Structure 1
Amino acid sequence: MSNPEENNITPACEVLSLQQIPLDDDPVDLQQDVRTPTIKVPTVLAERKLQIVVETDITLTPAATEIKRVTKNVFLEQVKLVPVRFRQIGNTDFFEVTRAKLFVAGFIRKDIEYASSACNGALRDRIADVPFSGFAEITEGEFLNFPVIGVSDSSKAHFLNEKRDTVPRLDKYFFQNLVKYNEQPYGELLGANFFELDFSPVRAEPEGTFSTLREKIVMDLYLKVLQVQQYRVQATRILPIFDEGTLGI
């Protein structure tokens, strides 16, 4: 028959705990009224997938005998939309962009882990930035919303000589300049899908080394193009209703 004291186990690393008390959980009463506010928000112009193809040679020092792992990230340094076709909005001097060139530039940051020829040697690490650049065309049917651009204008008025109506004044002019400052379209990085082939341009023996890694990279770049635009929308304004005792009740 076992001794009851032998079953009384004391924890080796005992800590203090506090049992939580359930709290009341009720929905908040809301006051709703329909309004038509004017808002200024980022508007998605296009969501595009661009395929970028690059080839590069990366030097490894010390020389490698085996590639262990390669990780990649993409960094965008430029996303610029250049309009090339326009459509006037009503009788205004604002235009919708119906066709544009999308310029992108950036680099692929590669982190290469490899083994050198040393026995029981530590893994080596090589970081390389592979630049890329290019452009794509966005047509009218590919825009989710059209970019809006306002055109600036300038005028110049000439005068006749006060004493001789047949002679112009070359020292007197009237100038008028209308300048519109537009919201700049910008890009947002969504993601990237990499496909690549890495190899030594000079064939190495199984226990040999190579100091150059040639990479052929195909990257599907997913990005979003936006512009801040102003809209009037129908919306419901919602305000919380507090219990009696709150200021104003």
Structure 2
Amino acid sequence: MKKCNCNQQQESCAVPSTQQIPVSDDAVLNDTTVSTPILKVPVVLVERSLQVVVETDISLDPPATEIKRVTKNVFLNQVKLIPVKFDQIGSTDYFEVTKAKLFISGFIRKNIEYSSDDCQGVLQDRIVEVPFSGFAEITANEFLSKPIIGISDSNKAYFLNDTNGEVPRLDKYFFQNSVKYNEQPYGELIGANFFELDFSPVTVEPQGEFGTIREKIVMDVFVKVLQVQQHRVGTLRIIPNLDTGLEC
């Protein structure tokens, strides 16, 4: 049998490295000029806290003896702003929205963790999606910036009969259409607060089982509605002035 060489050295854990050398660090000088560019950017129209109240019964299989934890998240499927009142902008065909209905819909995704009647059983998990929908009214003083919408129109001109000026021609028309394509307001989810009461709709004894849990949820969901608009802003235009070492 080959004897082990106990004096054999183990491989070193060290790895090669390179020491870094400091380099010079100077600020970049900038030239500034006054500028008033037109920017096309998302503009916040409104930020609102909407309260949603829902009640639901959720079945549990296997039945539960104790609810351990409930976690929640909100998902929005729809955030739509529907204008209902307008103010014309000057003599243009564009209008500022002064009143609107804000429609929202989505669901609350709930993860319910609970224990069954098994003394050493595994923790059970139940995932459900609770739908909700509703609307709120947005008035003029609640807009941070008013939405802008262009109105399309369609005109039709009629003609008299060429040989009989007392009757119209039904085979000759002139059409004029003006179509304006608007930026669609859209929503963003900011956050949500949940207030919830969970209980069995049927009274059970201690350590008793229940196969249904009733939930009453009050949710404050915070949403932001934006629209892409063009705005002229007063700024300072920044142009880097890089030192090339050349004398001009």
User: Do both share a fold (TM > 0.5)?
Assistant: yes
Distance in 1 (CA, whole Å) between partners of 2:198 and 2:20 is 56
Matching residue of 1:147: 147
User: Once the two structures are superposed, what CA deviation does each residue of 1:3-38 show, in whole Å capped at 9, x if it has no partner?
Assistant: xxxxxxxxxx95657665544332111121111111
Matching residue of 1:181: 181
Distance in 1 (CA, whole Å) between partners of 2:134 and 2:19 is 61
Matching residue of 2:6: none
Matching residue of 1:130: 130
Distance in 2 (CA, whole Å) between partners of 1:36 and 1:240 is 19
User: Once the two structures are superposed, what CA deviation does each residue of 1:93-130 show, in whole Å capped at 9, x if it has no partner?
Assistant: 11110000000000000001111111211101100000
Structure 1 range deviating more: 197-206 or 215-224: 197-206
Aligned partner letter, 1:36: T
User: Once the two structures are superposed, what CA deviation does each residue of 1:36-78 show, in whole Å capped at 9, x if it has no partner?
Assistant: 1111100000000001110001111111111111100000000
Aligned partner letter, 2:109: R
Q: Specify whether residues 201 and 18 from structure 1 end up closer, same or farther in structure 2 by C-alpha distance, changes over 3 A only.
A: farther
1:192-207 paired onto structure 2 within 5 Å: 192-207=192-207
Q: Specify whether residues 94 and 204 from structure 1 end up closer, same or farther in structure 2 by C-alpha distance, changes over 3 A only.
A: same
Secondary structure of 1:141's aligned partner: helix
Distance in 2 (CA, whole Å) between partners of 1:118 and 1:22 is 66
Q: Specify whether residues 220 and 19 from structure 1 end up closer, same or farther in structure 2 by C-alpha distance, changes over 3 A only.
A: farther
Matching residue of 1:218: 218
| TM-score, reference length from structure 2 | 0.90
Secondary structure of 1:77's aligned partner: strand
Residues 1:104 and 2:104 are matched in the alignment: yes
Aligned partner letter, 1:44: V
Matching residue of 2:163: 163
Distance in 1 (CA, whole Å) between partners of 2:22 and 2:193 is 47
Question: Displacement of 1:241 after TM fit?
Answer: 2.2
Aligned partner letter, 2:209: T
Q: Specify whether residues 221 and 15 from structure 1 end up closer, same or farther in structure 2 by C-alpha distance, changes over 3 A only.
A: farther
Q: Mind listing any 5+ residue stretches in structure 2 that lack a counterpart?
A: 1-11
Matching residue of 2:58: 58
Matching residue of 2:40: 40
Matching residue of 1:71: 71
Q: Specify whether residues 61 and 19 from structure 1 end up closer, same or farther in structure 2 by C-alpha distance, changes over 3 A only.
A: farther
- Runs of 4 or more consecutive aligned structure 1 residues displaced over 6 Å after TM superposition: none
Aligned partner letter, 2:33: D
Secondary structure of 2:26's aligned partner: coil
Aligned partner letter, 1:72: K
Aligned partner letter, 1:61: D
Q: Specify whether residues 206 and 25 from structure 1 end up closer, same or farther in structure 2 by C-alpha distance, changes over 3 A only.
A: farther
Residues 1:208 and 2:208 are matched in the alignment: yes
Number of aligned residue pairs: give it: 235
Residues 1:114 and 2:91 are matched in the alignment: no
Share of identical aligned residues, percent? 68
Distance in 1 (CA, whole Å) between partners of 2:13 and 2:37 is 59
| TM-score, reference length from structure 1 | 0.90
Question: Displacement of 1:239 after TM fit?
Answer: 2.0
Q: Specify whether residues 66 and 23 from structure 1 end up closer, same or farther in structure 2 by C-alpha distance, changes over 3 A only.
A: farther
User: Once the two structures are superposed, what CA deviation does each residue of 1:186-221 show, in whole Å capped at 9, x if it has no partner?
Assistant: 111000000000111111222111111110000011
Aligned partner letter, 1:123: L
Aligned partner letter, 2:108: I
Question: Displacement of 1:149 after TM fit?
Answer: 0.6
User: Once the two structures are superposed, what CA deviation does each residue of 1:122-170 show, in whole Å capped at 9, x if it has no partner?
Assistant: 1011000000000000001101110011111010001111112222111
Q: Specify whether residues 121 and 142 from structure 1 end up closer, same or farther in structure 2 by C-alpha distance, changes over 3 A only.
A: same
Distance in 2 (CA, whole Å) between partners of 1:20 and 1:63 is 64
Secondary structure of 2:165's aligned partner: coil
What is the aligned-residue RMSD (CA, Å)? 1.7
Aligned partner letter, 1:51: Q
